[in-house]
């Protein structure tokens, strides 16, 4: 058999190609599947965080800020641990980005606070002198779209089996559960409770008053999303 193949270079090359391809697939595909699974500590977004993510996309924050830390020392020194594929398991769409007018935000929740984000979004130069980022003062009065956020939660749970209402193992070994309410009214109440915790750390009185009235300004939802990026 081998003598026959050695006398026929074309068939020998095809045989080698098929053998190497099959061996490569056996080695590579399981690793791809493993890397695509959510990493330990990766949770689905809450309703308020999703509403904030929608604001983030609507105002094109991803046009200037990437969410992809490359495995290079100059990147990890500045932004933290490089990104892992499993950390994006619940991102639809991905917001990796390739151009950075501003810094990467993949782990911004580890080093920025609610108070910092509030000041930065209202007047960027108040915390970053010389910043070219525009102010987003409209977010302090415009109400976040909670219905669309809840609709996305229901959809990804049913279609993509995103694990809402299931315990998620965190990096410290504890477990957390992200709730998916059965009705929008229940979900809205959950989002409002989360919003009140964020508004308590803010200084803008109009925002605080809005949350107390049962309204959630976009800035509160956006901060919830940014705080979740860790």
pTM score of the predicted model? 0.85
Q: For position 16, what pLDDT does the model report?
A: 80
pLDDT tens digit string along 154-212?
Answer: 999 999 999 999 999 988 889 999 999 999 999 999 999 999 999 999 999 999 999 99
pLDDT tens digit string along 200-228?
Answer: 999 999 999 999 999 999 999 999 999 99
Q: How many CB atoms lie within 10 A of CB 80?
A: 16
Q: For position 39, what pLDDT does the model report?
A: 84
Residue 41 domain-assigned (yes or no): no
Asked whether residue 131 falls in the same domain as residue 32, the answer is no
Arithmetic mean of pLDDT over the chain: 91
Asked whether residue 194 falls in the same domain as residue 145, the answer is yes
Which residue, among 156, 158, 176, 157, has the nearest Cα to 167 in the 3D structure?
Answer: 176
135: domain CATH number is 1.10.760.10
In this model, does residue 27 exceed pLDDT 70? no
Radius of gyration of the chain (CA): 23
Domain of 13, in residue numbers: 2-36
Asked whether residue 27 falls in the same domain as residue 55, the answer is no
């Amino acid at each position: 058999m081998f003598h026959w193949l050695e006398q026929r270079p074309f068939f020998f090359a095809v045989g080698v190609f098929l053998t190497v391809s099959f061996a490569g697939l056996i080695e590579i595909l399981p690793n791809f599947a493993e890397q695509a699974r959510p990493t330990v500590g990766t949770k689905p977004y809450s309703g308020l965080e999703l509403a904030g993510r929608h604001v983030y996309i609507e105002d094109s924050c991803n046009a200037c800020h990437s969410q992809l830390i490359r495995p290079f020392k100059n990147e990890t020194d500045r932004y933290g641990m490089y990104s892992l594929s499993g950390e994006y398991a619940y991102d639809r769409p991905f917001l990796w980005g390739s151009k950075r007018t501003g810094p990467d935000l993949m782990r911004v929740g580890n080093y920025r606070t609610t108070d910092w984000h509030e000041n930065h979004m209202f007047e960027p130069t108040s915390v970053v002198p010389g910043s070219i980022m525009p102010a987003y003062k409209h977010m302090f009065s415009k109400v976040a779209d909670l219905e669309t956020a809840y609709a996305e939660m229901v959809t990804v749970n049913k279609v993509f089996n995103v694990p809402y209402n299931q315990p998620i193992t965190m990096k410290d070994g504890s477990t957390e559960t992200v709730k998916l309410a059965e009705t929008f009214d229940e979900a809205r109440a959950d989002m409002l409770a989360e919003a009140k915790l964020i508004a308590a750390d803010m200084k803008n009185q109009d925002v605080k008053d809005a949350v107390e009235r049962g309204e959630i300004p976009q800035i509160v939802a956006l901060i919830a999303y940014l705080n979740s990026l860790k």
